[in-house]
Structure 1
């Protein structure tokens, strides 16, 4: 009987969530962004290909800027004093989480503060859930995950809770926390010698800089590390990794421009085995997820790895740029289908209001989120912690 009453009370929910209207609104917003962006002013806008066109242009620009900026200025900090390693590790962890709230400020304003204001100003009724849905979609949580969160919330509350907005607000945060907790699985470097990490992703996600940050972290932990420059499509990419490797005293295995990436990987594994290196990190070429022939090349790299070490790669890590919002979902789907991803790193959370995509990513794929990035320095790449992430978004001013 109670379930019947609850269902009757919330029968309006089906009319609240109008997928078609939301989709049209989001498409219009993207078209306006394109028209206002000088890069696209002279282009004809094709609604079906908006996302792909944005990715192609922005990723190329990002790649160029990253290469020029990092190679020139060496913005990744170095830590080569062994006596300071333990202290640095502790400081990095502390500094990361104390700065997380500030770094997620844009997402906090849209999502955390927006939701908090709804519960402060409204009673728990149809209008509240309508506004809640809008706020979650604006933060790029995505339609499916938003719908699931709200549906689960409605199942948990009863009529008494309707008079206590604070209780409903608490249940909402609990549901969102549960989604993230399921993917909070830090990467553990096992006893494989070497432990092979294959890093993949589309152009402009900060892949190469993330590779070096990871190498620095493992080096600080006392592990030996080698990098493989398997992005042979761009001469600048090889130079970038070699420069950063030299600065940080991390060996880089590389071949000439346009050489076979799989051959580079073969040499790197043989070298790492001979030297008994703890961790080998393979930096691959950035590629659009819709270029299937490039995805096939990644499969070839995996086959080469398995010929030498049948258990490898021990981690297949996708780097995604949070600024791309829901485009990340399509990227992840294709890479996961091709390579069976075992981990994800989410970068550039400090520069976007679309941090809500983390919930969508976690909910749809359940792939462990290993690290999140909130800046350019080594201490800006931290192990993902669901509790800290939720607290940073929903903390009080």
Structure 2
């Protein structure tokens, strides 16, 4: 049995040896691979220093001074600088044009609209024979300029008398005669200063009133410029709470000349704002407080009563120095109706005629003074910031007559 097993093992070993030889011979008979270009692997380049060092392509060589040292403030990656948000600059405070002689400087604007009155009168008075028809034409010219019936009749009578005494009439004599009579009609004796003195501890208080659309807010802002030009400090009270943009508009006017504006919520109590404005004026030691009121229809009793309330509340601090009524000169005789009603509610102390450069009816100056018994103190002659001028009778009459 052992002999049989041994024979099987020997046989298996012989078979394995023969198989190995066959495989080995087959491997040796495989065709060799096709020849290819030999791959040459270059040894790593040795680092070079000094003059032999190569600079990277596209970069300039830097010196030691160009390279920041640690701790010198230079960093490999600098964070972008944080730029603070821009703060809007405060509007530059303007220096208003001096008020002295302002109407004289604006005479050209006034004469362009009013010259027809003076030229018309001079032409009629220069006729060789002044008959009744001519005097009627003179009267019609004055009435068309809104001088008013009573003042017109007075002027015509005086002109008749002086022309009769004068006899011969040269153009220069007629001009002098007409100038004197118109000056007498306008009045040269009235106090036309805007009073803003106030008391020892209370600023002067000026209230601006008028109907819608006459330019009260703009006039208040321009009046602030007139006062600042004369060296006065001003606080503005935005008591027109019914018109949405009124307070913003007044504040803009104030900022231009460095005057602070006291305002309240839209639709707030105008009397309360007017009271606070005077209170702030006292606290700041201001010279003048200007109070802009809402436009009121002279036919609305409730609005007019509210205006009286504003006046009474302000007078708790002290008396009002001025109540200025703003009238649109282009409305003519209709402005007299408005003036009459306002005078019944508040004691008007002065008149501001706006848009006087836009009408040929300069006679309204005479008519409104006669109607209210108070003088015209300021006139508006344009839309510019410094186009509000103190009224000067001589300059006004000279503009009427022309050169």
SS of 2:242 mapped into structure 1? coil
For residues 190-234 of structure 1, what are the alpha-carbon distances to aligned partners after superposition, in whole Å with 9 as ceiling and x for unaligned? 142210001001111111111011111212222211100111111
Please state if 1:101 is matched with 2:114: no
Taking the aligned partners of 1:245 and 1:135, their CA distance within structure 2 comes to 42
For residues 24-71 of structure 1, what are the alpha-carbon distances to aligned partners after superposition, in whole Å with 9 as ceiling and x for unaligned? xxxxxxxxxxxxxxxxxxxxxxxxxxxxxxxxxxxxxxxxxxxxxxxx
Pick from 220, 223, 227: which aligns with 2:229?
Answer: 220
Taking the aligned partners of 2:190 and 2:128, their CA distance within structure 1 comes to 33
The within-5 A match list for 1:151-190 is 151-154=157-160, 156-157=161-162, 159-164=164-169, 170-180=176-186, 181-183=188-190, 185-190=192-197
Unmatched tracts of structure 2, length 5 or more: 1-90
Check conservation: 1:184, 1:384, Cα contact below 8 A. no
Residue of structure 2 equivalent to 1:334: 341
SS of 2:386 mapped into structure 1? helix
Check conservation: 2:224, 2:254, Cα contact below 8 A. no
Check conservation: 1:213, 1:381, Cα contact below 8 A. yes
The within-5 A match list for 1:12-91 is 80=93, 88-89=97-98
**In proportion to residue count, which structure has more helix?**
1
Check conservation: 2:239, 2:273, Cα contact below 8 A. yes
Pick from 351, 362, 368: which aligns with 1:355?
Answer: 362
> In terms of mean alpha carbon deviation, does 225-234 or 377-386 score higher?
377-386
Please state if 1:255 is matched with 2:261: no
Check conservation: 1:374, 1:380, Cα contact below 8 A. yes
Unmatched tracts of structure 1, length 5 or more: 1-77
Residue of structure 2 equivalent to 1:294: 303
**Residue 133 to residue 79, structure 1, CA distance change in 2 (3 Å):** farther
SS of 1:378 mapped into structure 2? coil
Q: TM-score, normalised by structure 2?
A: 0.71
SS of 1:313 mapped into structure 2? coil
Q: TM-score, normalised by structure 1?
A: 0.72
The within-5 A match list for 1:132-211 is 132-154=138-160, 156-157=161-162, 159-164=164-169, 170-180=176-186, 181-183=188-190, 185-192=192-199, 193-211=202-220
Taking the aligned partners of 2:163 and 2:355, their CA distance within structure 1 comes to 39
Residue of structure 2 equivalent to 1:278: 287
**Residue 368 to residue 254, structure 1, CA distance change in 2 (3 Å):** same
Taking the aligned partners of 2:378 and 2:151, their CA distance within structure 1 comes to 21
Residue of structure 1 equivalent to 2:278: 269
> In terms of mean alpha carbon deviation, does 179-188 or 230-239 score higher?
179-188
Pick from 254, 260, 267: which aligns with 1:245?
Answer: 254
